[in-house]
Amino acid sequence: MTNRSELPTTRDEAVRRDADDPLRALSAHFDLPTGIIYLDGNSLGPPPRRAIDRLTHVAGVEWAGGLIKSWNDANWINLPKTCGAKVARLIGAAADDVIVADSVSANIFKLAGALWRRYGGAVGFEAGEFPTDSYVLQGLSDLSGAPLRQLPSGADPFAGDVKVFVKSAVDYKTAAIADISHIEKKAQAANGAVIWDLSHATGVVDLDLARDGALYAVGCGYKFLNGGPGAPAFVYAVGELAQSLRQPLSGWMGHAAPFAFDQQYAPAVGVSRFACGTPPILSLSALDAALDVFDGARMAQLETKARTLGDMFLSRVRSAGLETISPDVGERRGGHVSLRYEHGYEVVQALIARGVIGDFRAPDIMRFGFSPAYLSYADVWDGADALLSILQTEEWRKPEFAVRRSVT
Ligand SMILES: Cc1ncc(COP(=O)(O)O)c(C=O)c1O
């Protein structure tokens, strides 16, 4: 944990901290536009150079040149698994227990459907959970008749009839980190199951699902993994348990032998059964290449740097008197911080106009992400300066900053 006295207190100190940063080399993988301070890698990571190179190669050589032969020759057909093995390393899972496929929303449906079949009871989520998680459970409940429960935040999820519970490991608004091991113990004592949504955790939090007893999870590829807009997501299910699950989107890519063209569905081994349709090879290839940025990186170091950047940002902007809804300086937190401000939307637009990109979550939350792979302490120092200046000068009051755009 960072102690406030260890945080840079001048820009020069921030620059010196950059010089000593053991993760400094990682930033060489990225070409961020000049003049941009990117505090939104928790929403959409920027492209690692190797992801762009790989896209060019896959499109120009494997697709244009190899045509359909590339399913075999370029091993496209196994990419969901090989890419899954790279994700597994980052979350503390066995290589065979992760497959990359579809979106987080679709994966929650597949996993929750499979688990409800197995564990029964009600399906549940906490108030304040990321909306798609609850929407998908509503859809599953409508279709299957599974009772649906919205639980108060922080309640024991298994105290009632819930047997399948979906929970974010890092809260999308506050960045609070859940106690995975504690909740898993409750689930297992109640003969229930948790689906961990690792969307805001993968690539920035030092996860160890095996150590913490987590059995099922999903997560996304486009945030801290930098896999590209709409990058495919992943499913994790411990092999021997996955083996007895039947997932409801039983498409041919999750079949034991897709090219046998049997009329009858027979699930593939383990987590591979969570594949459904033809994998999106272009986006999967970009994600696969982006994951190599993490080769040899220690997740504990990444988590610490992200938190220290967040601590420094919070300490600097404290004088503006904004309400912090994230765990405070010195507390464990994921890779972003959130500040509440009535005119947060306008302030974020004014920041973007100055080249400091964060995002806004209705009704009044400004979110700033601190991806440790490419951000420097000096960047974050300057980003905090911009925020303070916009608040002080009330630059955000310019009418153009009030225009609401579709994506916030
Ligand atoms: C916690 C969480 N879950 C799920 C999603 C959405 O996932 P997808 O769009 O891949 O379905 C997001 C998107 O930001 C998220 O933050």
Q: Strand 356-357 and strand 216-219: pairing?
A: unpaired
Q: What per-residue confidence (pLDDT) applies to 4?
A: 65
- Judge whether 13 lies within some domain: yes
Mutate to test the pocket of ligand 1, among 40, 105, 199 (most ligand atoms within 8 A of CB): 199
Q: Which atom of ligand 1 is nearest to the CA of 168?
A: 1
Q: Are residues 273 and 330 in the same domain?
A: no
Average pLDDT by stretches of 10, the chain with 408 residues: 78 97 96 97 98 98 98 98 98 98 98 98 98 98 98 96 98 97 98 98 98 98 98 97 97 98 98 98 98 96 97 95 94 96 97 97 95 98 98 97 89
Cβ-Cβ contacts under 8 Å for 376 (sequence gap 6 or more): 14, 18, 21, 24, 27
One domain for residues 129 and 219: yes
Give me ligand 1 centre to Cα 327, in Å. Answer: 21
Structural domain count of the chain: 2
Pocket residues for ligand 1 (CB within 6 Å)? 103-105, 130, 132-133, 168, 172, 197, 199-200, 220, 233
Does 309 lie in the same domain as 278?
A: no
- In a shared domain, residues 169 and 182: yes
Give percent of the chain above pLDDT 70.
Answer: 99
Residue ending a domain, among 262, 294, 326, is: 294
Residue 43 falls inside a structural domain: no
The residue from 246, 271, 294 where one domain ends is: 294
Residue 288 and residue 187 in one domain:
yes
Considering the domain architecture, whether residues 312 and 261 belong to the same structural domain is answered as no
User: In this structure, which residue's CA is closest to atom 5 in ligand 1?
Assistant: 104
- Determine the distance separating the centroid of ligand 1 and the alpha carbon of 10, expressed in angstroms: 36
pLDDT tens readout for residues 7-65: 999 999 999 999 999 999 999 999 999 999 999 999 999 999 999 999 999 999 999 99
Same domain, 59 and 197: yes
**Domain that residue 396 falls in:** 4-30+298-402
Ligand 1 mean position to 134 CA, how many Å? 11
Considering the domain architecture, whether residues 171 and 287 belong to the same structural domain is answered as: yes
CATH at 362: 3.90.1150.10
